[in-house]
Amino acid sequence: MYDRLGEEIGRLVTACARQEGVVELTNSWRCSMSQSGLTTAGGIFEIEQQGDTLIVVPTVDLRELEYERIEDGASGILDLLNGTGTKNVVLDFYKTDYYGSIALGFFLKLLKRVRVRNGHMAFCNVSDHEKEILQITHLDHSWPICTTRSEALEVVKSQLVNRNSPAATSGAQI
């Protein structure tokens, strides 16, 4: 049952992404126009599209207790990345202060998917607490960590991300 539901979510998210403008996937699994962005299953991520870059905004702290919502949202985002010409991803954490191991696993899956598409991924608006989590897990050099969304967009769009990039405060190379 869950596999079929996941496939249906993926199809709906892909269909929403292909519509012009900004769309929302509501909890009743319907697409509707919204000015806030595409919200995936569980309402845990807002998604915006800018050219070939997907901007993902977690709307709540990504704690282990949110496991099912994180998994649902992550599945939708990964399916969306497969179903479009999107190759870059920016994760904007301006609404959060924490993420746990489930979210870290999702970030790694997302990075792998982005790399397969010859794209880049960057984080922005990361809290001090979130930076500490990345440092402790040694993931702070896996992708650039930028101060602002505009810096992160600049970093992923430039094909020459390197250790000396002023926008990438982590110095990561992707």
Question: Which tokens go with 55?
Answer: 């901007």
In a domain, 35, yes or no: no
In a domain, 107, yes or no: yes
Q: What pTM value is reported for the model? A: 0.71
In a domain, 86, yes or no: yes
In a domain, 19, yes or no: no
The predicted structure's pLDDT at residue 167 = 42
In a domain, 100, yes or no: yes
Nearest CA-CA partner of 73 in 120, 98, 115, 110: 110
CA distances to 6, 30, 44, 74 from 68, rounded to whole Å, are: 12, 20, 10, 10
In a domain, 18, yes or no: no
In a domain, 33, yes or no: no
Structural domains of the chain, count: 1
* Distance in angstroms (rounded) separating the CA atoms of residues 116 and 118: 5
CATH, residue 114: 3.30.750.24
Residue 146: its H or E element: strand 145-146
Q: Show the domain range for 129.
A: 40-157
In a domain, 29, yes or no: no
* Distance in angstroms (rounded) separating the CA atoms of residues 65 and 163: 36
Residue by residue, pLDDT tens for the chain (174 residues) are 434 434 444 454 444 444 433 333 333 333 333 444 555 545 899 999 999 999 999 999 999 988 999 999 999 899 888 877 899 999 999 999 999 999 999 999 999 999 999 999 999 999 999 999 999 999 999 999 999 999 999 999 995 444 334 444 444 433
* Distance in angstroms (rounded) separating the CA atoms of residues 10 and 105: 19
Torsion of the alpha carbons at 77, 79, 80 and 81, rounded to the nearest 10: 90
